[in-house]
Structure 1
Amino acid sequence: MKAARFARFGGPEVLEIVDLPDPRPGPGQVRIAVRAAGVNPSDWKKRKGLMDAELPQTMGYEAAGVVDELGEGVTDVAVGDRVFGFSTDGSAQAELAVLGYYAPIPPSLDFPGAAALPAAIETATRALDQLGVRSGDTLLISGASGSVGSAAVQFAVVRGARVIGTASPANHDYLRSLGAEPVAYGEGLVERVRAIAPDGVDTALDVAGTGVLPELIELAGGPEHVVTIADFGGAREHGVRFSSGDAGRAVHVIAEIGELIEAGRFSLPVARTFPLAEIAEAHRVSENGHLPGKLVLVVGETR
């Protein structure tokens, strides 16, 4: 099969499409013919050597496609079914991928729309669970217009929370459409939030990693009420919890999201798609940031 890989750290130019052996599913797993695979900031961070030291590396932890082989004991899907989920070995940006956690693609979604979901919805759900967000709370999300941020906004609204979200002014209407109250990020954030929430907020989630943890701590009344998914160094410095999957992932949301989508209570737009062969350009766009929604690599037919 053809797959994206890099054999040295560096810029997007180190990415290549190579031939690798076809993967085989283990017990409880399925193999899919990949139709689309999500692109995440962790991809370019890995490529630059900021996360894992090993070489060479394949990439991609989320994909959507058609089941073409079942692992031992799998009875909940059949060959030919449309599914999406998490790659077990970080090799989803390829023609074939093995999924360890999977669910049927919601009927209203195409393959790119489904491939955009897993990482964003798992990360958002895990962070909200760690913050204990519940009905009646006021939650501040720093970086609310990206894929994880917009997922967190919608899940928090479903839980009955009031959501204040930071974003550039160009994305404020988008945040309002999700049910959040937008504020601009940057200097003066504390004053802008207190203008609409005089007593501060109950909890705060840092998605952007832009050095705002001191402000979030002030607004939320202490570091114990703040979680970051993007600022590991700042978390250690300020005593804030850094959310990672090491303490357990919220993979249950994969099977639950379809009901919210079909009820019109959740959506995650695909900002842009790229053929697998143009993965270097996808990395360039991802690293520049600022797009609402998700970047997706398209490997085959999109429906």
Structure 2
Amino acid sequence: MSLQRALLVKELGKPVELVHDHPIPLPGPGQVQVRVSVAGLNPHDQRVRDIGQYISPPAVLANDVVGKVTKLGDGVTEFALGDRIAYQAQFTKEQSQTGLQEYTVADVLAATRIPASISDDQAATLPSNIFAPLVAIFDTFEIPAPWTPDGKDFDYNGTTILIVGGGTNCGKFAVQLAKLAGIGRIIAVGGPADELFSYGATHVLDRHGGYDVVMSRIKELVGDDLLYACDTINPPEDQILALNALSSSKKGILATLLPRGLENDSRIAEKKAGFVWHKVIGSSHAKPALAVEFWKRLPEYLEQGQIEPLKFTAKQGLEATYVNEALDAYRDGRSVTRVHVHI
């Protein structure tokens, strides 16, 4: 068996460690082997390392992966040897797909070809951060994706979406996806106004001032008509803002990227028509039909500037020190510019 270097979670709550004897995976049907160039770290990687979310040790982190195709599995026609691809690794205990190792395998359904105009680092900002809001908008909200037959008759321009946590990476991509679909009013709470306006936000609201002040800013724009709200940042106890912004007379939908709050919370405003509250599972493997169609179209969106990659910080080499530093910063609630590991 061929071996490689990898950074492993050997024990929960402990720093990742470099090993030199990790097996190199081979692609199965519908998969490709990838020589990794960039692995992107996300906040959930800290939870994987420290509490075992999705995994059990020993495990490899980083679900956002970029590299070149080195082997093709049976039946693969979508990619060729040498293609540069970005992909989202599956959120499972199986560790052949995650990126902090030299070679991985990728499922074709969760992969996209990288245009020549986009760098490996730019591509690595995309997979998990764009797919979660994609699911929120075009699955949880049941707004038809613009490439579907149902999209021809949907009134995108007459639709309003509220995005709480506009300054997060998922929030920024949520704005871009809403703009891509032609949503008429895209309201972001929090985040850099100029950047969010450039992505397509129609309104950017200050998140400061307390619950009542921020709610009044939202209600001034939406009245009692808001049907779609996405919270990209808040823990369960703070999702009440987005929920109470929804209409009380029409049935609205709240999509959250963190676990949802309690539906018997006494702070919930009266909802005469009820409401739907969903925790979004932003996994390509959980939504394969949506994934295949989106990843197929993403290269064109990137080339046309309809989707723009986000900011990152690059670190050179498969080194445990700066991976642990980034994960510790997420754990401690410090501001983190997305970290990319060059392998």
Kindly provide the amino acid, as one letter, of the partner of residue 280 in structure 2.
Answer: S
Of residues 41, 47, 50 in structure 2, which corresponds to 1:48?
50
Following TM superposition, by how much is the alpha carbon of 1:68 offset from its aligned partner in structure 2, in angstroms?
Answer: 0.9
Q: Could you tell me which residue of structure 1 aligns to residue 28 of structure 2? A: 26
Of residues 314, 317, 325 in structure 2, which corresponds to 1:281?
325
Q: Could you tell me which residue of structure 2 aligns to residue 263 of structure 1? A: 304
Q: Could you tell me which residue of structure 2 aligns to residue 65 of structure 1? A: 67
Q: Is 2:243 the partner of 1:206? A: no
Contact 2:239–2:260 under 8 Å retained in 1: no
Of residues 173, 177, 186 in structure 2, which corresponds to 1:163?
186
Q: Could you tell me which residue of structure 1 aligns to residue 256 of structure 2? A: 228
CA change 1:175–1:289 in 2 (3 A) is farther
Secondary structure of the structure 1 residue equivalent to 2:291: coil
Secondary structure of the structure 2 residue equivalent to 1:14: coil
Contact 1:139–1:164 under 8 Å retained in 2: yes
How big is each residue's C-alpha offset from its partner over 1:261-289, in whole Å with a ceiling of 9 and x where there is no partner?
Answer: 11111112132122331211222344435
Q: Is 2:6 the partner of 1:9? A: no
CA change 1:233–1:9 in 2 (3 A) is farther
CA distance in 2, matches of 1:254, 1:273: 24
Please give the residue correspondences for 1:115-154 in structure 2 after superposition, counting only pairs within 5 Å. Answer: 115-129=124-138, 130-133=140-143, 134-154=156-176
CA change 1:104–1:41 in 2 (3 A) is same
Instruction: Give the percent of matched residue pairs that are identical in Structure 1 and Structure 2.
Output: 25
After the TM superposition, which of the residue ranges 263-272 and 216-225 deviates more from structure 2? 216-225
Secondary structure of the structure 1 residue equivalent to 2:312: strand
CA distance in 1, matches of 2:328, 2:5: 21
Q: Is 2:102 the partner of 1:95? A: yes
Contact 1:118–1:254 under 8 Å retained in 2: no
CA distance in 2, matches of 1:26, 1:41: 29
Please give the residue correspondences for 1:71-90 in structure 2 after superposition, counting only pairs within 5 Å. Answer: 71-88=73-90, 89=95, 90=97
Following TM superposition, by how much is the alpha carbon of 1:196 offset from its aligned partner in structure 2, in angstroms?
Answer: 3.3
Secondary structure of the structure 2 residue equivalent to 1:284: helix
Structure 1: gaps of 5 or more residues: none
Q: Could you tell me which residue of structure 1 aligns to residue 37 of structure 2? A: 35
Q: Is 2:242 the partner of 1:242? A: no
Following TM superposition, by how much is the alpha carbon of 1:227 offset from its aligned partner in structure 2, in angstroms?
Answer: 0.8
Secondary structure of the structure 2 residue equivalent to 1:79: coil
Q: Could you tell me which residue of structure 2 aligns to residue 176 of structure 1? A: 197
Of residues 110, 121, 129 in structure 2, which corresponds to 1:112?
121
Secondary structure of the structure 2 residue equivalent to 1:231: coil
Of residues 245, 249, 272 in structure 2, which corresponds to 1:219?
245
CA distance in 2, matches of 1:54, 1:65: 25
CA distance in 1, matches of 2:42, 2:118: 20
CA distance in 2, matches of 1:67, 1:221: 48
TM-score for the superposition, normalised by structure 1: 0.88
Aligned length: 294
TM-score for the superposition, normalised by structure 2: 0.78
Secondary structure of the structure 1 residue equivalent to 2:11: coil
CA change 1:43–1:155 in 2 (3 A) is same
Kindly provide the amino acid, as one letter, of the partner of residue 197 in structure 2.
Answer: R
Cα RMSD for the two superposed structures = 2.4
Secondary structure of the structure 1 residue equivalent to 2:186: strand
Kindly provide the amino acid, as one letter, of the partner of residue 324 in structure 2.
Answer: A
Structure label with greater radius of gyration: 2
Of Structure 1 and Structure 2, the greater helix share is in: 1
Secondary structure of the structure 2 residue equivalent to 1:270: coil
Contact 1:31–1:68 under 8 Å retained in 2: yes
Secondary structure of the structure 2 residue equivalent to 1:18: strand
